[in-house]
Amino acid sequence: MMSIFNIESKVALVTGGNRGVGKAIALAFADAGVNVIIVSRSGNAGEVVKEVTDRGVKCVSIQHDIGDINRVDELVDKAYSTFGKVDILVNNAGVQRRSPSVEFSEEDWDFVHQVNTKAVFFLCQAFGKKMLEVNEGKIINLASLLSFQGGFTVPAYAASKGAVAQLTKSLSNEWASQGVNVNAVAPGYIATDMNEALINDEKRSKEILGRIPAGRWGKPEDIAGAVVFLATPAANYIHGEILVVDGGWMGR
């Protein structure tokens, strides 16, 4: 009997898959027997590609700026010309800008929303259209604790991640009956480059750790496991869910 967790030979496209949480997701898919397409703005993913292929699956890297909405179709064409399909889309790439709200610039606001909100929608639209044609597919967006909370000095990021959560639910309402699962994972405080400022702030880091029941910052691998789960048949009846992976933060 086929395991409800079996996703061998599927194809997953991971944006921002060259480092941090995205890299962990790519490697976790590889461990599950999934072929991987890594999308990154820098295209500097050679080491990750090797780590993925060393696990016995196929992997390619595509250099692409997801913030350039006019090139979405180009990315779809490249992905499908490589493997002939994309079974799983993971919208992981995201950006952050920190500043007191009274000083937050329009330039930073637009940049954050271009990548975190607009790009996510149009990638969902483009790849979702392909998935709807075959009545099968998994889309997993990366939300955040700030999909639920406001945070400090990150108004654009909080607004963008609130939008990701609502977008996930909206698309799920339309596509669930057509075989496409749209869900999101909301990471808690994860030890990555994006949170380096918080980690290095001794007072704030202590406050954060004091609220996390698990007693530690999360690791990228903690998020990868949740993403892979949502991509498996075990999650076929999960639609429009925002799965919080936060060490218990939201339960306090």
pLDDT in tens, 154-213: 999 999 999 999 999 999 999 999 999 999 999 999 988 777 777 778 888 888 899 999
CA angle (173, 174, 175) in 5-degree steps:
100
- Compute the distance between CA of residue 215 and CA of residue 235 in angstroms, rounded to an integer: 28
pTM higher than 0.85, yes or no? yes
22-33 confidence digits (pLDDT tens): 999 999 999 999
pLDDT bin (cut points 50, 70, 90) of residue 2 is low
Which of 146, 139, 162 is CA-nearest to residue 14? Answer: 139
**Positive or negative, the Cα torsion across 163, 173, 245, 35?**
negative
Other beta carbons within 10 Å of 3: 10
What confidence tier does 139 reach under pLDDT thresholds 50, 70, 90?
A: very high
Is residue 44 predicted with pLDDT exceeding 90? no
Q: Rounded to the nearest 5 degrees, what angle is found at the Cα of 185, between the Cα atoms of 37 and 227?
A: 45
Is the pLDDT at 1 greater than 60? The verdict is no
pLDDT tens digit string along 72-129? 999 999 999 999 999 999 999 999 999 999 999 999 999 999 999 999 999 999 999 9
Q: Output the six-digit token pair for 12.
A: 């997953």
Max Cα-Cα span within the chain = 59
Where helices occur in 54-154 by DSSP H, the ranges are: 72-83, 106-113, 119-134
pLDDT of residue 47: 93
Crossing angle (nearest 10°) for helices 72-83 and 119-134:
40
What's the chain's length in residues?
A: 252
pLDDT level of residue 239 (50, 70, 90 thresholds): very high
Catalytic (active-site) positions: 157
**C-alpha closest to that of 97 among 41, 141, 153:** 153
3-class DSSP state for residue 57? coil
What average pLDDT does range 43-61 have in this prediction? Answer: 94
All domains in the chain, ordered by first residue: 11-192+221-244 (3.40.50.720)
